[in-house]
Each structure stands twice: as structure tokens, then as C-alpha cells.
Structure 1
Amino acid sequence: MDAALRQVAEGATGFMPPQEGLALYTAATAIPAGGLICEVGTYCGKSTLYLAAAARAAGGTVVTVDHHRGSEENQAGWEYHDTTLVDPRTGRLDTLPFLRRTLEQAQVEDVVTAIVGRSEQVGRWWSTPVALLFLDGGHTEEQAQADYSAWGRHVAPGGLLAIHDVFPDPADGGQAPYHVLLRALDEGFREQSRTGSLRVLRRVD
């Protein structure tokens, strides 16, 4: 991975450990030339940069989808609430300006397109096959399943599905992404690699 881009990625606001970020990058570099990478759950763009680096290497494109109002765990009173991301004008979380700064700093706007909207709404009208889908959106059971339902069907045959924050043991973290993993394994995906909480699967049906 480009050293300058990796430095920006590691310094960006977010929850992707460097080891998992590099594993995501490695998986994404395997997409076909000109392939499309889709990320569900952008936050401030940390993981987006690992995907952007891979897209640039493969001659591909990244589309990243988020409503930018934060997941449940990002709201006031929850563990991952960050007051610096709150818009003082509205009092609501707004990560979109921070994504813009991240993309500008990394100079990856030529390979990244940001879509502002709820993933299940965007996924409803989406029609382009996806070479790699990265799921890292809401971590409630309802939202995680909705993200997979909306986007899993768009993964091209032989394409990749990456799921973040997969914790089989409830003592380690929430179970929603793990349940998505189990569902994907039942619906034509086969596990390809594990790095920390990141799982990479390939569609084989």
C-alpha cells in the first residue's frame, strides 16, 4: 500500500485497526481491473482510504454509502459517541464534512464517490454488479441484516464480501455482524480469510 496514503488512513478518525485495514486493502486489490468496490458505512472515511488505495492499484472505483448521522452506538450517551463530530448548528452527529476532509487530504476523490443516504434505500435501486462489498454500517441486528439484504445480492459471481466487527463470542462484541456472516455462508458465500474481526468471503454460487 502506498506509504503516504497508509499514513493518512491510520491517522483518520475511525475504528479500523491497521492490521485489519491492510487485510481489507489486500483483499480489494484482487478485484478485476476496472471493478467496483462498494462500502456500506463510511463514517469519516478511514476504511475508505484502504479501499481507495486498492482501487487505484487495480484501476477500479469505490462507492461509499452512509447517511452520515452515525449508528446507534455513535449517538449521545453511547460508548462510541464523539462530541467533536456533532454539528453545533443542529446538535446532530454529522460525519460528512469529516469524510470530505479525509478524502481531500488523501487526494483520492478521483477514485471515490460518496453517496449520502440510507444503505437499504440506495441498495433498492442499485443495479451495478459489485466486485467487493464491504459491510461496516449499523451494528444493530435490524440494520446489519438490512444492509446485507440490500447489498449482498449485488455481489458479482466470484466477487468478495468483507464484513467488519465479526465476534463469534458475545463477550468480545456485538453479534449482529456475526449473524450476517452466518447468513452469508448459508447463501452462497465461502469464507476466504480472517484478520482480527474482519472476515472476507467469496461468492461461489
Structure 2
Amino acid sequence: MASTSPSQGLSEARLRVADEAPGFMPIDEARALHDAAAGYLSQPDSVGIGVEIGTYCGKSTVFLGAAAEPVGALIVTVDHHRGSEEHQPGWEYHDTALVDAHSGLLDTAARFRRTMFDAQLESTVLGLVAPSTAAARVWGREVDFVFIDGGHSMEAAQNDYDGWSRWVRPGGALLIHDVFPNPADGGRPPYEIYRQALDSGRFVEASVHGSLRVLTRVG
């Protein structure tokens, strides 16, 4: 179905699919994510691959896939699909509709696949069901960008940064979501890895869109 459909880009139909998918990214930041991804995937030295760390149900993945499809690029989205700490029972973002009756655990994989099917992005988006650390161990090539939006504990954020930022090609981008300089606005781990990226000298800030940071690799 997706392979025979003409490119839709960020069509109204896809916007509706993204809106219906469970998730937490504001629409203005999602559009900025799409535009940033499209820009890096369209550069002359593009390798045609972008990586997302933290799929959940595929809301932000729709925007990435819509950026990749028109230029024939691929999006690899990595998630173990058992949810982050804040998605577990007793926490603020727990959704009982996403609990698998067989295991009794959160399982967002099927909802993600539904989102990609409805968005007609199954030929553009490759879902990698694995912990970020395990996937990083078998990864072996440069990418146009890495978008980090996984677990927000310090351990999870640090693992995502350590495992994946090194694969961003020179001139490519590291995108980090939920960066809040003011501790009163949100958790610290995404901000901490954002600061690490800048302090490393390998990345410079290209743009800011709400809590989304776009950093270009220079070294």
C-alpha cells in the first residue's frame, strides 16, 4: 500500500494520523522537527538515513517519515516499546489502553505499527524493537541526524547520547527534545546531554523551537 502511493509529505491526512496517535509532542515542535529533518536529509552530502530514539506510538515519527519520503530517505526509529519510567503504573503518563493483556506490561509496538499503516509510511519508517543501548551496539554507519526523545532518567538520556551522537555525520544534526534550561519547567537529563553536546565542541546550536534543540555537528 505505502510503496505504491505517491508521496504525501506532511499532508492533512498524515497530520490527522499524528494527532490521533498517543504522544506528547506539541504540534509546533513537531512541525519544527519535520522541517529540520527535511533540511538535513536534503543536503548534498546526505546519506539518506535519520534515526529516532524513542518511538512510543509514532506521533513524532509521522513528521520524520513525512520529511524522509519525498527525498527517498529512511527513518529508523528505536524503542523497546515497554515505556519509559513515567509510563509505568502509578506514574502520570501511564495509559492502561496500551497494556498487553498477555504480559501485563506496557506494549506500544502494535499502536506504533497502526500509526505507520494509517500514515502510509511503512516503506519509509523502519521500526527497531530493542533497547537503545543494544541497538547502538550493532549500528555501524553515519546518519543525517539523530533525534533523542527516549527515557528521561539521567541513565537513559546519557546512554542515548553516548550510544548514538557519534553516528551523526559531519554537517548532520543532533536533535534533542524536552530541553528545559529552567528546572521548574521540566526534567534535567535532556538539558544535561544538550549541554554535554555543546561543551564537547562537536556540535553547535542551529535553532531552538520550544523544548526542541537542533545542533549541527561541526567536529
Structure 2 length-normalised TM: 0.91
Residues 1:8 and 2:42 aligned together: no
Poorly superposed stretches of 4+, deviation over 3 Å: none
| Residue identity matched to 1:146 | N
Give unmatched runs, 5+ long, in structure 2.
Answer: 1-9
Q: 2:207 aligns to what? A: 193
Report the Cα offset of residue 34 of structure 1: 5.3
Matches within 5 A, 1:14-93: 14-30=23-39, 31=41, 32=43, 35-93=48-106
CA apart distance, 1:2: 2.1
In the alignment, the residues of structure 1 paired with residue 145 and residue 131 of structure 2 have an alpha-carbon distance, to the nearest angstrom, of 19
Residue 7 (structure 1) shift = 2.0
Distance 1:150 1:34, change over 3 A: closer
**Equivalent in the alignment of 1:122:** 135
| Gap regions ≥5 residues in structure 1 | none
Q: Name the structure 1 match of 2:116.
A: 103
Aligned AA for 2:80? H
Asked if structure 2 preserves the Cα contact closer than 8 Å seen for 1:139 and 1:176, the reply is: yes
Q: Using the TM superposition, name which of 28-37 and 84-93 deviates more.
A: 28-37
Aligned equivalent of 1:203 = 217
C-alpha distance in 2, partners of 1:146/1:115? 17
SS in 2 for 1:29: helix
Aligned partners of 1:65 and 1:114: how far apart in 2? Answer: 6
Q: CA RMSD in A?
A: 1.0
Q: For residues 106-145 of structure 1, what are the alpha-carbon distances to aligned partners after superposition, in whole Å with 9 as ceiling and x for unaligned? A: 1100100000101111111201211011000010001100
Does the Cα contact within 8 Å between 2:172 and 2:216 map onto a contact in 1? yes
Query: Deviation digits for residues 26-81 of structure 1, max 9, x if unmatched?
Result: 00011235510100000000000000000012221000000000000100111111
Aligned 1:128-167 pairs, distance under 5 A = 128-167=141-180
Q: Count how many residue pairs are aligned between Structure 1 and Structure 2.
A: 205
How many angstroms apart in 2 are the aligned matches of 1:8 and 1:97?
15
For residue 5 of structure 1, report the CA deviation from its aligned partner: 1.3
Q: Is the 8 A contact 1:9 1:49 kept in 2?
A: yes
